[in-house]
Amino acid sequence: MENYSIKISNVSKSYGDVSAIKNISFNVKKTEIFGLIGPDGAGKSTLIRILTTLLLPKTGNINLENLDIVKDFKKIRHIIGYMPGKFSLYQDLTVEENLNFFATVFGTTIKENYELIKDIYSQIEPFKNRKAGDLSGGMKQKLALSCALIHKPKVLFLDEPTTGVDAVSRKEFWEMLKKLQKKGITILVSTPYMDEASLCDRVALIQNGEIMSIDTPENITNQFNKTLYSIKTENKYQLLQDLKNYKNQNSVNAFGQFIHYTDKLEKLKIDDIKDYLKEKKHTNIEVKIIKANIEDCFIELMRE
């Protein structure tokens, strides 16, 4: 049991008539990167606000580093770092003033924990006299992460740190998280980008306040129990329509330049699909069987 950093059992939360989280239970292991993967409105932020002691759960128990989320909230606040989805630093303080402020609030100094934030903070240090409000999106994100880390937390909560961030900056951000993990920090991160699931040790796929699946990304994709075809022809829009009208179609979803297809019958052969598409006058037909990714699994779980 000592292996767990966070233990969540039967947690629910409602806002008026709307139940944001429905009886969720799971554990987060020490020093793992745990991903909450789901769209807006799934309940990710509510859960993170409960875990960071900012909201009280309606039901259930949560234990964080052997402390009770309700009774020991003051102690918990000292050992967690939190980066909210919305930029929440002081816009009219400089970069350095913000960092200093958070260090002081937690009874420490920039110097004392500089080693932990060095990789991240050194990238914005040349601008340390600039007001936080005048930073670019990527720099704001780095400052927010530095401030969340300045008191050397045991557990770090990141609420959609990469939303609206371009593909290059997203990649850099995940590299930073991997480094923090190596320093012994447990990380719980939420994201609407399905492709980021593969960067986590374990993930929970969450939709409408419920967890649809929870496991390593590898195990989740292995559980996809249908043969998945990846199909491409010259005319993508027409292909989408034609596959939707194919006699035993189970699912048809666009994935970039390809269309992912599953059939109700397991006996379907690649040549059957090719013949059908030839009949429909498609050219440059490509059909292959592929392994499902997290997004395939998420879509399939949403249908159930």
Partner 1 sequence: MTNTSIISAKNLSKKFGNFTANDNLNFEVYEGEIFGFLGANGAGKTTAIKILCGLSKPSSGKIKVAGFDVYKQTEDIKKNIGYMSQKFSLYEDLTVKENIRFYASIYGMKKKEIKAKTDELLNKLNFAHAKDKKIKDIPLGWKQKLAFSTAVFHNPKIVFLDEPTGGVDPVTRREFWNLIYETANKGITVFVTTHYMDEAEYCDRVSIMDAGKIVALDTPINLMKKYNSKNMDEVFLKIAR
Interface ranges with partner 1 (CB under 8 A): 38-42, 136-138, 160, 163-171, 192-195, 207, 236-237, 240, 253-257, 295, 298-299, 302
Tell the smallest beta-carbon distance from residue 149 to partner 1 (Å).
22
The residue (of 20 and 28) whose beta carbon lies closer to partner 1 is 20
Tell the smallest beta-carbon distance from residue 177 to partner 1 (Å).
18
Tell the smallest beta-carbon distance from residue 302 to partner 1 (Å).
6
**Residue 189, CB-side half-sphere exposure with 13 Å CA sphere:** 31
* Dihedral angle sign, alpha carbons of residues 152, 154, 159, 162: positive
CA separation for the pair 137, 153 (Å, rounded): 24
Tell the smallest beta-carbon distance from residue 36 to partner 1 (Å).
13
Alpha-carbon distances of 237 from 254, 259, 274, 280, rounded to whole Å: 10, 10, 17, 13
The residue (of 80 and 145) whose beta carbon lies closer to partner 1 is 145
The residue (of 60 and 138) whose beta carbon lies closer to partner 1 is 138
CA separation for the pair 225, 303 (Å, rounded): 14
The residue (of 167 and 289) whose beta carbon lies closer to partner 1 is 167
Tell the smallest beta-carbon distance from residue 249 to partner 1 (Å).
15
CA separation for the pair 126, 161 (Å, rounded): 23
The residue (of 164 and 184) whose beta carbon lies closer to partner 1 is 164
